[in-house]
A = this chain, B = another copy of it.
Amino acid sequence: MTTGQKVSFQDIRNEVLARIQQRVWVPGSLLPTEHELAEEFGCARATVNRAMRELADRGIIDRKRKSGTRVNISPVKQATFEISIVRQTIEDMNAVYRYSLVHRSLNQAPAWLRAQLDLEDAAQVLHLNCMHYSDNRPFQFEERWINTAAVPSVVDADLTDTGPNEWLLTEIPFSNAEIAFTAVSADSKLSDFLATPTGTPLFQMERTTWFQDTPVTFVRMTFHQGYQMSTRY
């Protein structure tokens, strides 16, 4: 339903999407120009532009100067997952969050980690093992390495009450990261911490974080058995 007054960019976005879904405009075909659409909908070109830009961002259409706008032929769908801190995730499920620092040590970075983070040979890292509980049941086991050169203050940080993720966020907000998801088999350590038999398939997320080209941390988060990550699009 239009508001009756002006044509909103959402009206146009929805209408164009509807026409694509109803195959008025089929994949690969050329859509009218912004100018033509503006005329049809009786609005400014900027309004059409915003509507079309959103559809292009979603991968529905493909736009090129001069050649025009086409319905995307190979639909690359984008699934967006909201990655928040563990505490948030757990509290959002109305469960009680508990955190525990299991291990803490200051080491020379092992070779694989130096490669992963692109660190110098003598680089020092803070190695942490933590557990996150939801209603007192194991939720996630976190194994983390922090490049102390990037965050010197972490050496003196008290991480017994606050998890390293939350602590780092206060120091280094909005960094860049690379995330990877895998399935792993519970080894004896994971089996102990996550209270599940050895060999259980577990969902694992690895994340490498940089702050302005400086590698900050690498973390491996393994979730309890049966954990599922989902989203809509």
Contacts and interface: CB of A to CB of B under 8 A. Distances in A.
Please give the count of copies of this chain that the complex contains. Answer: 2
Given A21-B175, A183-B203, 15 more contacts: A21-B174, A21-B212, A27-B170, A59-B82, A60-B174, A75-B169, A78-B82, A177-B232, A178-B230, A180-B228, A181-B228, A181-B229, A182-B226, A182-B227, A182-B229
A76 interface: yes
Contacts of A176: 232-233
A87 to B, nearest CB: 9
A17 interface: yes
A178 B77 contact: no
Contacts of A178: 230-232
Interface string A91-129: 000000000000000000000000000000000000000
B174 A230 contact: no
Interface of A: 17, 20-21, 23, 26-27, 59-60, 71, 74-85, 88, 169-170, 173-185, 199-204, 211-212, 226-233
28 contacts: A21-B173, A21-B175, A21-B211, A21-B212, A23-B173, A26-B173, A59-B82, A71-B173, A75-B84, A76-B84, A77-B84, A78-B81, A79-B179, A80-B81, A176-B232, A176-B233, A177-B232, A178-B230, A179-B231, A179-B232, A179-B233, A181-B229, A183-B183, A183-B201, A183-B203, A185-B201, A199-B199, A201-B201
A219 B185 CA distance: 24
Contact of A82 (B77, B84, B185): B77
B75 A173 contact: yes
B79 A84 contact: no
A233 B177 contact: yes
A81 B1 CA distance: 32
